[in-house]
Amino acid sequence: MDILKQFVTRTRIEGVVILSVALAYLWEAHNVPEFYQIPGVPGPTTFPYLLGLVFAACGAWLLISPKDLWRMWSKPAEAVAAPAPAGPGLGSRIASHWHLIAMWAVVLAYLWFMPDIGFPVATFLLLFTFFYLLGETRWHIVLALSLTVTVVVYVSFKMGLNVRLPLGVLEFLVK
């Protein structure tokens, strides 16, 4: 039982969840109809495959987390015990982990709304929110990083891979 408590950590549970979502995302990317493909050009499945692979790698890394494995094998079971929850009830545990819950909500909202509002706007909002939730308080840094990463990724896919990403609300700029 002590070995099981040492092996099942919050980090590993998060890894399983992220890996599961990534595998489901890859499965959905695999189900994109072939009539959207243009021969000799990376098609619309390129972005979902790359994103799914990155998420799967991150989930697998958390699952086999070397830091947790080292801690488990180098210290006695009492020293590896999980920290006590913030309080007796579920509400206090949710309150103590609100950043993680908010980040998951933002990712799910991104996946839901990105086709409608477009890749550039949705990605900018996702990155802006992530940087803020991760503790960056300098607004000029948050804005600059969000905008720079969005533009670099969009241009990389548009020019480098010839992948048409949805523009959504920015569609009027192309016409």
Distance CA 114, CA 117 (A): 5
pTM above 0.75, yes or no: no
Q: pLDDT tens-digit profile of 119-158?
A: 899 999 988 988 888 777 888 888 998 999 999 988 888 8
Say what the pLDDT of residue 10 is: 75
Distance CA 103, CA 107 (A): 6
The beta-carbon contacts of 6-13 under 8 Å, at least 24 apart in sequence, are: 6/72, 6/77, 6/80, 7/72, 9/65, 9/68, 9/82, 10/82, 11/62, 11/65, 11/68, 12/62, 12/63, 12/65, 12/68
Distance CA 50, CA 52 (A): 5
- 8-state DSSP, 84: P
Q: pLDDT tens-digit profile of 9-38?
A: 777 788 888 888 889 888 888 887 766 666
Say what the pLDDT of residue 80 is: 46
Mean pLDDT of the chain: 76
Percent of the chain exceeding pLDDT 70 equals 70
> 98-126 burial, b for 16+ CB within 10 Å, e for fewer?
eeeeeeeebbeebeeebeebbbbbbbbbb
Do residues 165 and 47 lie in contact, with contact meaning Cβ atoms separated by under 8 Å? yes
Q: Could you tell me which residues come within 8 angstroms of residue 20 by beta carbon, excluding any fewer than 6 positions away?
A: 59
Domain coordinates in residue numbering, the chain? 1-82, 93-175
Percent of the chain exceeding pLDDT 90 equals 7
Confidence of residue 114 (pLDDT cuts 50, 70, 90): confident
Confidence of residue 93 (pLDDT cuts 50, 70, 90): low
